[in-house]
Copies of this chain bind each other. A is one copy, B any other.
Amino acid sequence: MIIFFIEVKDLPESWKDVFHRFNKKATPSRRAILEVFEEKGQHLSAEDVYEHLRAKKKKVGIATVYRNLDLLLRMGILRKVNFGDGREHYEICRTAQFHHHLICTQCGQVVDCEGMTQEEEQFLQRLRKEFEQKQGFVVHSYHIYFYGLCPRCR
């Protein structure tokens, strides 16, 4: 027996389609950068991305890396995070679970904090409303940074 009906919920749009939707070209550089984020995952600096590309024998200039990190940011594919080390870091949104960061103030190590749930939702929903009323802002996202000492530094 053959099942003819296959439920496909939220089939993710291909990167090519995403670029197309933004009237941007799906160039090799851009694909390669996204590949790095999909493989290496979290919070990479421009230099990190550049090094990973070199390691993979993909020749992409550092300027192109910067330009495309910014583009991907504006397209909503990456988000920018900052750990106070003097450079910007980027994370991919789609493949990574939404999370926050725990930063060692001694050595700079950064750990992702995933899996905060309902309680967080409720807490932030309340704050969001408060800001929208008190300050007149529309809040569309937030980020929590925790600071402390990692196992080795404590």
Contacts and interface: CB of A to CB of B under 8 A. Distances in A.
A142 B140 contact: no
A15 interface: no
List the number of copies, as a whole number.
2
Q: Is the interface of A mostly helix, strand, loop or mixed?
A: strand
Given A116-B127, A146-B142, A137 B82 contact: no
Interface residues of A, number: 35
B123 A120 contact: yes
B148 A139 contact: yes
Contacts of A57: none
A102 to B, nearest CB: 6
A111 B146 CA distance: 20
A138 interface: yes
A122 to B, nearest CB: 9
